[in-house]
Amino acid sequence: MIQVTDLEKRFGKVQALSSLRMNIKKASIYGLVGANGAGKTTVLKHIAGILRADSGHVTIEGEDVYENLRVKERSCFIPDDLYFFGSYSLKESARFYSRLYPVWNPALYTQMAARFELDENRKLSRFSKGMQKQAAFILSMSAAPDYLILDEPIDGLDPLIRKLVWKYIVDGVAERGMTVLVSSHNLREMEGICDSIGMLANGKMLIERDLDELKSDIHKVQAAFAEDVPAEGRYEGLRVLHKESRGVVDLLIVRNPKEEVERVIGGKSPLIFDLLPLSLEEIFIYEIGGGNHDIDNILF
């Protein structure tokens, strides 16, 4: 389990992280999402043990991460900005990794290099950025980490390669109990892969929930009532995050369990009543963008 407790980080006058808390369950895939500049990469670098916290704690299985060799031998971090030894080929990099990680899996390395169709003898500096991402993924997965930390792992990859990357990740979680923390802007793919979601805004955790629970508690609602139903009490008892009217039809975003929404609105015999869950992308747009942005056409 990865735990982040009251994490604070400042770079000069910029408060990058503030009172941040995270709980990432073992053998799960946790998606960290947020707008550009929200602090996602800073969080990942703390969990990878690259940055030292100003205050607070980052632990893996109860042990502090920073300067902890035992923890780092069981973890791999693939940053968005990759670095390789300029003169190394993929095969030479694999030899280097095998000396760093005590449970290096040579059979998996050979299999993955063939599946991704990369030239093992070509210098990594001559790979495209997409090929370098594939190489970093092959090396990290072959190290058989218990904890895999990924920053934009599929950015720039074609659909077939993205599917292959996710397959290896899911297999690692299912077969070895690997724990994965991934940050990505591809919310549609995150929605199909993640067990839990943390939504970051301005260095603070806005929402942290299991994905199914998150989606079950926020809904799009369209409702219309007869004229004898007073407008003031139609949604009393519900947490209405956003509301507008288009003619006689009310359009709302409501954060309540489905059963409660059905009880409150359905009990007033509406003429029209449609209730739908939001996608992760829609939740992100609403929670990060808020009611001050022109997002109605996306939501409805």
Name the residue type at position 146: D
Q: What is the DSSP secondary-structure string of 92-138?
A: HHHHHHHHH-TT--HHHHHHHHHHTT--TTSBGGGS-HHHHHHHHHH
> 248: closest CA among 222, 272, 274, 224?
224
Task: Determine the average pLDDT of the residues in 59-88.
Answer: 92
Q: What is the pLDDT of residue 290?
A: 55
Residue 296 in this model has a pLDDT that exceeds 60: no
Q: What is the pLDDT of residue 282?
A: 87
Q: What is the pLDDT of residue 287?
A: 77
Distance from CA of residue 184 to its chain's centroid? 6
Q: What is the pLDDT of residue 72?
A: 93
Write out pLDDT tens, residues 84-131: 887 899 999 999 999 999 999 999 999 999 999 999 999 999 999 999
Write out pLDDT tens, residues 170-228: 999 999 999 999 999 889 889 999 999 999 999 999 999 999 988 888 999 999 999 88
Decide if 145 contacts 76 (C-beta within 8 A): yes
